[in-house]
Each structure stands twice: as C-alpha cells, then as structure tokens.
Amino acid sequence: MFGLGKKRSKFGKFLDRNSIKQTEISEMSGVNMNSISRVANSNENCPSMKNASKIIKTLKKHGYDVSYDDFWDM
C-alpha cells in the first residue's frame, strides 16, 4: 500500500495491489490474523494446506482468479 519499508511475500504484494486488508481476509476466510500476517510478510513461510485452501476459496469467492501456485511453492 504505502511501502513502509517492510518486505512482502507474493501473497502480501497481491493484497497490497488489490487494496485488501489483512484483517479483512482473516475475517472472511476464518484464518487467524497471525497466520495471514506471517504468510504476507515472508516468502519463506507457507500456510498449511487447510489455511491455504480457505484463503484461496475466499479470494475466488470475491472474484479473484488465483491458485495456490500463484503465491506459494509446493
């Protein structure tokens, strides 16, 4: 969003580009805010498959054409 100097993962950059707040995605998907923050700030952290599927399902429900591979390596 404003580039406050912290590094962002592919997922975090996607949220920034689409003006999606981490709190919003957390509430909509049911994934803990700490998990969302962790995967949005570091490419080295991957969510569990359960949380990843919740995140992807929520983004698809809101009109984004995304998949697991867009953000995280298997």
What is the value of pTM for the model shown?
0.86
DSSP 8-state assignment for residue 30: T
pLDDT tens, residue by residue, 10-65 = 999 999 999 999 999 999 999 999 999 999 998 888 899 999 999 999 999 999 99
pLDDT tens, residue by residue, 21-30 = 999 999 999 9
Strands annotated E in 5-50 = none
Q: How many helices (H) and strands (E) does the chain have?
A: 5, 0
Both tokens of 19, joined, read 């003006």
SS3 (DSSP) at 2: coil
Residue ranges per structural domain of the chain: 10-71
| CATH code matching the domain that covers 10-71, chosen among 1.20.140, 1.10.3470, 1.10.260, 1.50.10 | 1.10.260
SS3 (DSSP) at 3: coil
